[in-house]
Structure 1
Amino acid sequence: MSVVATPDQLRAARTARQAYREGLSEPTSGIAAGLTQANLIAVPADWAFETLLYAQRNPKPCPVLEVIEQGQIESVLAPGSDIRTDIGSYRIWRDGELTEEVTDARPAWEEHPDLVAFLIGCSFTFENGLVEAGIPIRHQELGRNVPMYRTNIDCTPAGRLRGEMVVSMRPIPAGRVADAVQISGRTPAVHGAPVHVGDPASLGIADLSLPDFGDAPEVRDGEIPVFWACGVTPQAAIMASEPPFAVTHSPGHMFITDVPDAEYIV
């Protein structure tokens, strides 16, 4: 049975999307708590099959929640939405290079009306469960973006698409790591349990204070860095594979849906 959002949750989601549509640009961790958030990647139609295949072959970092067909701009996960405007910050990519960040992506769809958009699960979905269990979310406490890192873990290629896995990191008190693993493991459709606990170097991360995306972390005494697969992984594939054009969310700036997180908890 599907889980239905409460009226208060729906108001929170729609208010947030409207604010982003009107130009607000801030990370969405903790916004409209309890509702699922999603990463975005939109590619020209002739890259869409390979993008879907790449996600299918790499479901841990790239769990697909929805494919929005060519020419469509409304998500079924958020009736009345517009994926071109309802995210606080977008990235425009040309030949694998980040060329601009914007708060309104409508010109990108005008330039490439054949874009096919993919909404990819986000680890923010299980953060609400961590908070409810009393596990601190440091980037929320500090008002920062979650730190994200490119790793030495290669994803399985698909056609022209290749690249490495990106992970997000949250410092977790040592005594709560097992709880964090169990709670996040209940959401396999949105990354699920961590891919690594402890040693950043084993993932090819040389300096934890220098994330590739997001803000620098603050790891305190008695805390252990815990790493989850991240929906920014498609952006690493864009950089490695150099498609002629793509649109993504800016890391940490997600698409807020009307679907409760509980829908993806098993």
Structure 2
Amino acid sequence: MGVADLSPAAAREAFRGGLVTPTAGYSRGYAQANLIIVPQAQAFDVLLFAQRNPKPCPILGVLDAGETTGALLAGGDIRTDVPKYAVYRDGVLADEPTDITGYWREDLVTFIVGCSFTFEAALQDGGVRVAHIDQGVNVPMYRTDVRCEPAGSLSGPLVVSMRPVPAGQVADAVRITSRYPAVHGAPVHVGHPGELGIADLGRPDFGEPVEIPEGHLPVFWACGVTPQAAVMESHPALAIGHAPGHMLVTDARDSDYLVP
């Protein structure tokens, strides 16, 4: 059985058992999600930041303080079922564990945020190849010069993911992904990374670079790593996210987030 054929529960079990890998291409047909976990005292700021910046921060679900499972991961455990996490202390990346049980506190609130991996199967079905899947690397992600609207203690830049698309298929990629607004929707920019403040596509801030074949344009989507960039800028005492590209595989279907 290939990774695309694994059920979400089976994928989460593999990650709980110690498998560490980017999750693009896993559990085809099921939505993947970003995480941002903060103490309850900071939860309203995260919620307000997401409300003011819905393109990069579309919230799919919230686990209340101390909760470790919910409808999007039935029978799972948010502390163990992601391949790799990112733990921030005062805005500085302090650890990338595969299990955050040792960091868990009963006041921690989990925000489950939409991820563009969710629409990649639709792109493939529409004849648009996905370079990081084809090349077997983590999707490249970049901080931009575009500022998010601040909220309470949180402020930071928009983070984008990039997929090279043949020039003749850019319109198809826009049309397909625009039907998934809950997982970032249509691209935010096409073709000119310098206009976003990105100096070198070969040096992503998160993930890995991909080859851009001749005749392809870089296409940029808002990315759910944006809250982690805000954490790095705003320096809360504690915050936990997924390691970029290492997502929560949920029980929701991609089609749950498809609009007509």
Asked whether the equivalents of residues 148 and 157 of structure 2 are also in contact (C-alpha less than 8 Å), the reply is yes
* From 3, 20, 41, the counterpart of 2:15: 20
Q: How do 1:250-265 residues align onto structure 2 when only pairs under 5 Å count? A: 250-265=243-258
Asked whether the equivalents of residues 69 and 116 of structure 1 are also in contact (C-alpha less than 8 Å), the reply is yes
Asked whether the equivalents of residues 40 and 248 of structure 1 are also in contact (C-alpha less than 8 Å), the reply is yes
Q: Deviations over 1:65-86 (max 9, x none)?
A: 0010001000211210100000
* From 91, 103, 113, the counterpart of 2:86: 91
Q: What displacement does 1:22 show?
A: 0.6
Amino acid at match of 1:52: L
SS of equivalent residue, structure 1 residue 82: coil
SS of equivalent residue, structure 1 residue 77: helix
Amino acid at match of 2:62: V
The TM-score with structure 1 as length reference comes to 0.95
Runs of 4 or more above 3 Å deviation: none
SS of equivalent residue, structure 1 residue 62: coil
Asked whether the equivalents of residues 39 and 121 of structure 1 are also in contact (C-alpha less than 8 Å), the reply is yes
Unmatched runs of 5 consecutive residues or more in structure 2: none
* From 153, 158, 180, the counterpart of 1:187: 180
Q: What is the alpha-carbon distance in structure 2 between the residues aligned to residue 150 and residue 158 of structure 1?
A: 19
Q: What is the alpha-carbon distance in structure 2 between the residues aligned to residue 174 and residue 103 of structure 1?
A: 39
Q: Deviations over 1:141-176 (max 9, x none)?
A: 111000000001100000000001000000001110
* From 31, 35, 38, the counterpart of 1:36: 31
Q: What is the alpha-carbon distance in structure 2 between the residues aligned to residue 81 and residue 59 of structure 1?
A: 27
Match of 1:108 in 2: 103
Asked whether the equivalents of residues 31 and 250 of structure 2 are also in contact (C-alpha less than 8 Å), the reply is yes
* From 69, 78, 92, the counterpart of 2:73: 78
Q: What is the alpha-carbon distance in structure 2 between the residues aligned to residue 58 and residue 104 of structure 1?
A: 29
Q: How do 1:207-218 residues align onto structure 2 when only pairs under 5 Å count? A: 207-218=200-211
Q: How do 1:161-176 residues align onto structure 2 when only pairs under 5 Å count? A: 161-176=154-169
Q: What is the alpha-carbon distance in structure 1 between the residues aligned to residue 192 and residue 164 of structure 2?
A: 12
Asked whether the equivalents of residues 5 and 28 of structure 2 are also in contact (C-alpha less than 8 Å), the reply is no
Asked whether the equivalents of residues 10 and 258 of structure 1 are also in contact (C-alpha less than 8 Å), the reply is no
The TM-score with structure 2 as length reference comes to 0.97
Q: What displacement does 1:10 show?
A: 9.4
Q: What is the alpha-carbon distance in structure 2 between the residues aligned to residue 69 and residue 117 of structure 1?
A: 7
Asked whether the equivalents of residues 108 and 247 of structure 1 are also in contact (C-alpha less than 8 Å), the reply is no
Match of 1:6 in 2: none
Match of 2:47 in 1: 52
Amino acid at match of 2:117: F
Match of 1:5 in 2: none
- How many residues align? The count is 256
Unmatched runs of 5 consecutive residues or more in structure 1: 1-8
